[in-house]
């Protein structure tokens, strides 16, 4: 019986799922939020119940110890040595890593070196790694990189048309993100299609953060996020693609400094910035339904930015066999799926089965037999990918 815990340490959060890997069942899962504040929130699900506790949690080390103490207290595990592996999600692996790896000093050094490419994430991942290493030193540790799946991109897809020296000397290039999700969803889609030898799939990972990826024969050939997760489609608070001259204009004409502009593009833009209502798609949709014109504009921009990338990847793939919706909006909003597919209907011959779209659950086909492109909803499961890679690399 081998237990593995999948960990996603954010700047102020710690998400986790504990698996029994013999049958890949989830034993327990949860999240610790607002780490560093007096009113941190610890949520844990076990045996069909959910416990929520508010308490001060000083840092990630304290958060990890609280989690492990709770596993013992609730008798989820009798001994921490039952946990044989810890799989850590790492946002940025740069060009160093095209697959998951066992964490050693060299891997730690490279993750740290890449922190400038993911300043909110990579340092937090290392903090989580050290905290678990200290608490359960006998467990092996594996890093699973969001960028690894996109290392199959060719230079023509990841090189920016700026002076080449910045790529050579400073590693400025497209890296992408959400790779673990795109890998899982595209792999599951191929299974649902009968594992064809050749496949052309577009995965739409739509949530508070969002990205689209073109997957040909199981390999990522292009993705919408870029040097950082700021690029690509419009998101909850991120702008996505904008003319870089906007930045200079806001600095010169409005008087903002560079840090203020980048913060604005990351934290105050997207659905929130346009609608003025919320970064949450559900709130914006409700406001639009109640006649809020800016909220409706935000939705219109969001949908059109998504279909623009679908169109771009349709060309890159030489056609498309399947489009997959996943993540918070993609999995849960039948409205968003319907609106996007309606905009694609004439060009791609897509026809949606309204009952499957609205009332279905879990992995499912939501297009009709007449649709020229299959459309799927596939809930993502990054934690399971992390656990599987951890088991494989540690030979558990």
Binding residues for Mg(2+): 8, 382
Structure tokens at 270: 């997207």
Structure tokens at 173: 């290039």
Q: Binding-site residues for substrate, please?
A: 89
d(CA 362, CA 376) in angstroms, rounded, equals 10
- Tokens 């934290």 locate to 267
* Phi (first) and psi of residue 389, to 5 degrees: -65, -35
* Cα distances (angstroms) measured from residue 378 to each of 49, 186, 366: 25, 9, 10
Beta partners for residue 89, in sequence order? 144
Structure tokens at 339: 């609106």
The residue from 146, 321, 354, 355 that is catalytic is: 146
Helices (H), 102-178: 105-113, 122-135, 155-158, 165-170
157 with 176: CB under 8 angstroms? no
Q: Is 146 one of the catalytic residues?
A: yes
- Look at residues 88, 89, 68 and name the one whose alpha carbon lies nearest to residue 79: 68
Which residues belong to the active site? 146
């Amino acid at each position: 019986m081998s237990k593995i815990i999948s960990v996603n340490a954010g700047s102020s959060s710690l998400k986790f799922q504990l698996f029994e890997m013999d049958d890949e069942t989830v034993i327990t899962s949860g999240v610790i939020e607002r780490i560093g504040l007096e009113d941190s929130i610890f949520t844990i699900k076990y045996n069909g119940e959910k416990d929520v506790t508010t308490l001060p949690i000083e840092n990630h080390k304290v958060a990890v110890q609280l989690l492990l103490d709770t596993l013992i207290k609730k008798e989820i595990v009798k001994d921490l040595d039952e946990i044989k592996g810890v799989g850590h999600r790492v946002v940025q692996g740069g060009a160093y890593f095209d697959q998951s790896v066992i964490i050693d000093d060299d891997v730690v050094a490279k993750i740290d070196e890449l922190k400038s490419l993911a300043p909110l994430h990579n340092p937090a991942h290392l903090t989580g790694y050290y905290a678990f290493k200290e608490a359960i030193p006998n467990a092996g540790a594996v890093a699973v990189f969001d960028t690894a799946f996109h290392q199959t991109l060719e230079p023509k897809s990841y090189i920016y048309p700026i002076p080449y020296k910045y790529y050579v000397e400073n590693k400025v290039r497209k890296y992408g993100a959400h790779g673990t999700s795109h890998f899982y969803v595209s792999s599951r889609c191929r299974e649902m299609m009968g594992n064809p030898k050749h496949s052309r799939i577009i995965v739409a990972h739509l949530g508070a953060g969002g990205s689209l990826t073109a997957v040909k024969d199981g390999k990522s050939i292009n993705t919408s996020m870029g040097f950082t997760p700021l690029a690509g489609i419009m998101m909850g608070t991120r702008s996505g693609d904008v003319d870089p001259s906007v930045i200079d204009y806001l600095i010169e004409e409005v008087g903002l400094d560079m840090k203020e502009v980048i913060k604005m593009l990351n934290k105050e833009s997207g659905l929130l910035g346009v609608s003025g209502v919320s970064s949450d798609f559900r709130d914006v949709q409700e406001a639009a339904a109640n006649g809020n014109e800016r909220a409706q504009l935000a939705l219109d921009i969001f949908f059109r930015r998504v279909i623009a990338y679908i169109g771009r990847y349709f060309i890159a793939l030489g056609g498309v066999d399947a489009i997959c919706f996943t993540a918070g909006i993609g999995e849960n909003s039948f409205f968003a799926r319907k609106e996007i597919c309606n905009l694609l209907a004439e060009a791609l011959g897509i026809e949606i089965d309204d009952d499957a779209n609205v009332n279905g659950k879990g992995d499912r086909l939501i297009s009709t037999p007449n649709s020229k492109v299959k459309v799927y909803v596939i809930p993502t499961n990054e934690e399971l990918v992390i656990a599987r890679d951890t088991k494989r690399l540690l030979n558990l």
